[in-house]
Amino acid sequence: MKYEGMMIRPPSETDSLLLQVTVGCSHNRCPFCPTYKGERFRIKTFAETEEDIREAGTG
Ligand code: SF4
């Protein structure tokens, strides 16, 4: 799986599969949040997602 950017999730989910289908934040305007500043939001392509699913199935 090719994860882009900062990964944020609770420790209890450390071992779970994380399938990233978007990169960044589609809103990205909350004044208190620097998480995705400077990062352009995008939806991953179907081919990228399909590849990630395929990789997860073989791991
Ligand atoms: S808190 Fe941050 S990640 Fe969440 S919607 Fe606001 S800008 Fe986006």
Residues 13-46 have pLDDT tens digits of 999 999 999 999 999 999 999 999 989 999 999 9
Ligand 1: distance of its center to the CA of 57 in Å?
A: 31
Rg (CA), the chain: 13
Q: How confident is the model at residue 12 (pLDDT cuts 50, 70, 90)?
A: very high
For residue 42, is it within any domain? yes
Least confident of 2-6, 15-19, 25-29, 52-56: 2-6
pLDDT-derived band at 5, boundaries 50, 70, 90: confident
Give the structural domain span for 48.
21-58
Our answer on whether the CB atom of 30 is closer than 6 Å to any ligand 1 atom is yes
CA of 27 to the centre of ligand 1 (A): 6
**Residues 3, 20 contacting (CB under 8 angstroms):** yes
Which pLDDT value is given to residue 28? 95
| Number of domains the chain is built from | 1
Kindly state whether residue 47 falls inside one of the protein's structural domains.
yes
Dist. CA 14–CA 47, nearest whole Å = 25
25 lines ligand 1 (CB under 6 A): yes
